[in-house]
Structure 1
Amino acid sequence: MMNSAIAGTWEEWEKSHFTPEEIAESNLRVALIGELIKARNERGVTQKQLEEMSGVSQPVIARLERGTTSPNISTVMKLLAPLGKKLAIVPLES
């Protein structure tokens, strides 16, 4: 997708401003947050209910879901368990 304000595609701009490691980290963060939101929605659980289930405050859940804060591993683990999910380490796709 071309954007005349940056005279190129998002991908071109991203590659010129971020390292491959930074891009991979951002993509992982977005995927993780997306999976948390998906799991919460599939269970029909509100952020407030998830707060009660996990002990993580609703404002923290909201900031995490908006992407305005980076999730730390202990928070992720607290949120995943009541949603019937776990974090797994798997090989990267080639």
Structure 2
Amino acid sequence: MKTISNLLISVILAVWVVAIAIISAQNAAPVSLKFFTYQSIQIPFGLVLAFSAAIGLIGIAVLQPLWRLGDSPQDARLDEDAEFFVDDEDF
């Protein structure tokens, strides 16, 4: 089951990368980002999109282990019990 989920994640990630590449190629016009009074230099929209996607992926990769730290040992025990009690009538 873990192999299928890894394959699905890889396919979704590949589709996003292809979508970013297509959007980047079609939108080569330079843009400038503004945040309150700060303004960036003009860079191509595709580059902004690629950096945003990369920062999002890195952010999720960093935050995911922190989410697991919040799980209590009782939650882990309940997950183990749920796997133990499987209804055999469906098989």
Q: Which of the pair is proportionally richer in strand?
A: 2
Q: Same fold (TM over 0.5)?
A: no
Question: Which structure has the larger Rg over C-alpha atoms?
Answer: 2
What TM-score, normalized by structure 1, do the two folds share? 0.34
Q: Which of the pair is proportionally richer in helix?
A: 2
Structure with higher RCO (Cα < 8 A, 6+ apart): 1
